[in-house]
Protein backbone atom coordinates (compact mmCIF):
# COMPACT_ATOMS: atom_id res chain seq x y z
CA UNK A 1 0.00 0.00 0.00
CA UNK A 2 1.34 3.39 -1.02
CA UNK A 3 1.14 5.98 1.78
CA UNK A 4 2.75 8.88 -0.09
CA UNK A 5 0.54 11.90 0.48
CA UNK A 6 2.52 14.87 -0.87
CA UNK A 7 4.09 15.90 -4.18
CA UNK A 8 6.85 18.36 -4.95
CA UNK A 9 6.47 19.83 -8.43
CA UNK A 10 7.35 22.62 -10.85
CA UNK A 11 4.75 24.76 -12.62
CA UNK A 12 4.48 24.22 -16.38
CA UNK A 13 4.74 27.49 -18.31
CA UNK A 14 3.95 25.93 -21.69
CA UNK A 15 3.60 22.56 -23.38
CA UNK A 16 4.10 23.02 -27.12
CA UNK A 17 4.52 19.93 -29.24
CA UNK A 18 5.29 17.78 -26.22
CA UNK A 19 8.16 20.05 -25.14
CA UNK A 20 7.63 21.31 -21.60
CA UNK A 21 8.79 24.71 -20.45
CA UNK A 22 9.03 24.73 -16.64
CA UNK A 23 9.25 27.46 -14.05
CA UNK A 24 12.15 26.08 -12.01
CA UNK A 25 12.55 29.09 -9.71
CA UNK A 26 10.84 27.30 -6.84
CA UNK A 27 9.48 23.83 -6.20
CA UNK A 28 5.99 23.80 -4.70
CA UNK A 29 4.14 21.15 -2.67
CA UNK A 30 0.58 19.79 -2.86
CA UNK A 31 -1.44 17.26 -0.90
CA UNK A 32 -2.57 14.07 -2.67
CA UNK A 33 -6.14 13.09 -1.69
CA UNK A 34 -6.62 9.44 -0.69
CA UNK A 35 -8.35 8.33 -3.94
CA UNK A 36 -5.37 9.56 -6.01
CA UNK A 37 -2.49 8.31 -3.83
CA UNK A 38 -1.80 5.18 -5.83
CA UNK A 39 -2.20 7.00 -9.17
CA UNK A 40 0.31 9.88 -8.86
CA UNK A 41 3.94 9.09 -9.73
CA UNK A 42 7.14 10.98 -10.42
CA UNK A 43 7.15 12.43 -13.95
CA UNK A 44 3.36 12.73 -14.21
CA UNK A 45 1.63 15.95 -15.21
CA UNK A 46 -1.16 16.69 -12.74
CA UNK A 47 -3.79 19.38 -12.27
CA UNK A 48 -3.55 21.19 -8.93
CA UNK A 49 -5.32 23.96 -7.06
CA UNK A 50 -3.39 27.23 -6.69
CA UNK A 51 -4.14 30.78 -5.64
CA UNK A 52 -4.66 31.53 -9.36
CA UNK A 53 -7.06 28.65 -9.94
CA UNK A 54 -6.20 25.31 -11.52
CA UNK A 55 -2.69 24.84 -12.92
CA UNK A 56 -0.66 22.06 -14.52
CA UNK A 57 2.52 20.92 -12.78
CA UNK A 58 5.22 18.32 -13.41
CA UNK A 59 5.70 15.98 -10.44
CA UNK A 60 9.35 15.79 -9.41
CA UNK A 61 8.96 13.87 -6.15
CA UNK A 62 6.24 11.90 -4.34
CA UNK A 63 6.71 11.39 -0.61
CA UNK A 64 5.06 10.93 2.78
CA UNK A 65 4.73 13.93 5.07
CA UNK A 66 3.26 13.78 8.56
CA UNK A 67 1.06 16.88 8.68
CA UNK A 68 0.51 16.50 12.41
CA UNK A 69 4.25 16.92 12.97
CA UNK A 70 5.02 19.58 10.37
CA UNK A 71 1.84 21.65 10.92
CA UNK A 72 1.70 22.43 7.20
CA UNK A 73 -1.35 22.55 4.99
CA UNK A 74 -1.17 22.29 1.20
CA UNK A 75 -3.69 22.73 -1.58
CA UNK A 76 -4.81 19.53 -3.31
CA UNK A 77 -4.02 17.61 -6.46
CA UNK A 78 -7.21 17.50 -8.57
CA UNK A 79 -6.39 14.80 -11.14
CA UNK A 80 -3.67 13.16 -13.20
CA UNK A 81 -3.60 14.65 -16.71
CA UNK A 82 -0.74 12.72 -18.28
CA UNK A 83 1.18 9.69 -17.09
CA UNK A 84 4.97 9.59 -17.20
CA UNK A 85 6.24 7.35 -19.99
CA UNK A 86 7.28 3.94 -18.73
CA UNK A 87 10.86 2.95 -19.33
CA UNK A 88 11.16 -0.05 -21.58
CA UNK A 89 13.94 -2.56 -20.93
CA UNK A 90 16.95 -2.18 -23.19
CA UNK A 91 17.59 -5.17 -25.41
CA UNK A 92 21.04 -6.02 -26.62
CA UNK A 93 20.75 -7.49 -30.07
CA UNK A 94 23.79 -8.84 -31.72
Domain ranges of the chain: 6-82
According to the per-residue pLDDT averaged within each range, which of 1-15, 26-40, 78-92 is highest? Answer: 26-40
Question: How far is CA 49 from its chain centroid?
Answer: 12
Check residue 70 and give its pLDDT: 85
Structure confidence by residue, pLDDT tens digits, 40-68: 999 999 999 999 999 999 999 999 999 88
Q: Please, which residues have CB within 8 angstroms of residue 68's CB and are 6 or more apart in sequence?
A: none
Do residues 74 and 31 lie in contact, with contact meaning Cβ atoms separated by under 8 Å? yes
Global pTM reads 0.84
Average pLDDT, the chain: 90
Quote the percentage of the chain above a pLDDT of 90: 70
Amino acid sequence: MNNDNTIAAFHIKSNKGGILKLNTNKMYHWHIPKPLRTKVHQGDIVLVRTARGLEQVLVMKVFREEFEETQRKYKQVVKVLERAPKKEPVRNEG
